[in-house]
Chain A
Amino acid sequence: MLFERDKIVRYLYQPEILPLYKTSGKTIFIKDFIRQHISCLDPHEVSIILRNMHLLEINKIPNFLVTPLTINNDIAIGKSIKLAKRLGSRSAYLVKEKIKLKGCRPIPGIYFPHNVFEFGGDEIINVKIPFGSLSAENVMREILAFCFFKEHQLPLLQIPICVFQYDLSHIQAYSLVLLSPYETRIENQENDYNLKIRDVILISEMEKFFDVKVLPKEIKFKGVNNVSYARQKGKLLATMNINGGFRGILNSNLGNDIYYKSKIYICDFDTFRVINVPSKPTSDFITKFILWCLVEILKTSPLVLGYFNIDRLSRNNATAILWYHYSNNSLLWKYYWKYLCQYAENKGWNLKLLNESLKICLKSRVIYDLILDNVLNSKILKNTYPPSLSLYKTHN
């Protein structure tokens, strides 16, 4: 899919403090939204929400939310009513009220690239999604994640309270409003040890030549107990996955990690899916399952330090080298795999099958495409745009 990167990138940059305006449309309570749009989800996903409707009994909302709000002044009615903090490129956060408005910047006619990888698929598909707002399905999946996390007693930081439906001629555009005590992402604390890419290449190549080791194993976070981070996150993701919950590739990125009062939380579930995990899975199911697990854990892992020239290597050989380096140095991977195997064994799964599936998955094209981002290498450096043309905007 071709798209004009320059055209999209200019929409990503916004001031840190944004005015919020009223706009036309309506505010919908969560329970009413569910009734209108529940058919977006698969039947077993529907049953998760229906079992947990009592958690979504919000019948009263602050007065200022009674009319939909937006940070897009092109669709504003009247003057700004409040100031909010920018979150990413399409959301806003009211610090005093601790309210997040997700997708409150609908801009008709502008689309954003999106990666999709279906369960059982063998390639990542590029699609486009409307920029700046959520679809009805996105909102339902956020609600699904809330219910799923509650059912499995997973750490949860945000509570959905209502939905804005924007009145935009023939476009369905929504914003989800959530109660959120804290929105600062851990990516703000990433410690790159003051290294430049060229430093990593030079030192890594010299390490290999002379058989010494000086570089840290992976990117860590300042002010965070990194072992605790890896252990908590590994456990959280393993619990989520073994019960059928998956975030989708793009939402698995590390930018959705929040470290709050020494606990790790993940957020942004607009592409959250729950698959039906059979009690006695076949080897085919386990292979597809492990592939999805691998995709998401690779996407969410901190960068492992090192450099490899893979220009002359076959895809399988390149994957093998990068995987060896990643799996031996990533603390998150070690904890995640340990917990996933433990939970699989508790469910009576064959651990030998799990490990064989892992070997099969490591030969897939999808894993090759993803692992290029886990350890610096010649291919990824040649395929990276300068930061000014990046499609990613940190949340704050």
Chain B
Amino acid sequence: MKSRHYYKKLLKELKKKKIPPSKIHYVEKKIIDSIHNLQKDCKVDLNISLNQFIKARR
């Protein structure tokens, strides 16, 4: 998916910094859990595109 472009770029940067995959996975999981909790308090779906969000706030 095109939205994976920056995620892949991130992984590439972390590889350059020699961050162990296990640590990346651990931190990512914590963040995903916090996004899940954030979603419970939001009326807006966090899966919408940035464009949709920007227009909704304009």
- A contact set with B: CB distance below 8 Å: 187, 190, 192-203, 205-207, 209-210, 212-215, 219, 253-255, 303, 309, 373, 378, 380-382, 384-387, 390, 392, 394
Contact = CB atoms under 8 A, between A and B. Distances in A.
B22 interface: no
B35 A202 contact: yes
Contacts of A385: 43-44, 56
Contacts of B58: 187, 253-255, 390, 392
A194 B46 contact: no
Contact of A384 (B1, B6, B50, B56): B56
Interface of B: 1-3, 5-7, 9-10, 13-14, 17, 19, 24, 27-28, 31-32, 34-35, 38, 41-58
A392 B17 contact: no
Contact of B19 (A196, A198, A210, A392): A210
Nearest to A250: B58
A212 B49 contact: no
A376 to B, nearest CB: 8
Contacts of A187: 55, 58
Given A201-B35, A202-B28, A212 B2 contact: no
A213 B48 CA distance: 23
A199 B54 contact: no
A234 B17 CA distance: 38
Contacts, number: 126
B29 to A, nearest CB: 11
A254 B58 CA distance: 8
Contacts of A386: 43-45, 48, 56
Chain A to chain B: the 7 pairs with minimum beta-carbon distance, closest first: A192-B50, A194-B2, A390-B56, A212-B13, A192-B51, A387-B56, A198-B46
Contacts of A254: 58
Given A196-B46, A198-B46, 19 more contacts: A192-B54, A194-B2, A195-B3, A196-B49, A197-B47, A197-B49, A197-B53, A202-B7, A202-B28, A202-B35, A203-B7, A206-B27, A210-B24, A254-B58, A382-B43, A384-B44, A385-B56, A386-B44, A390-B57
Contacts of A213: 13
B43 A193 contact: no
Given A254-B58, A380-B57, A195 B49 contact: yes
Contacts of A195: 3, 6, 49-50
15 contacts: A192-B50, A193-B6, A194-B5, A197-B44, A199-B3, A201-B46, A203-B7, A210-B14, A212-B14, A219-B50, A255-B58, A386-B43, A386-B44, A386-B56, A387-B53
A313 to B, nearest CB: 15
B28 A392 contact: no
A394 B1 CA distance: 27
B6 A214 contact: yes
Contact of B48 (A190, A194, A197, A303): A197
A253 B58 CA distance: 7
A56 B31 CA distance: 59
Contacts of B14: 206, 210, 212
A303 B50 CA distance: 9
A341 B31 CA distance: 41
A214 B10 contact: yes
B44 A190 contact: no
Interface centre among A194, A197, A214, A380 (most CB of B within 10 A): A197
Contacts of A380: 57
A384 B57 contact: yes
A303 B52 CA distance: 12
A196 B50 contact: yes
A310 to B, nearest CB: 12
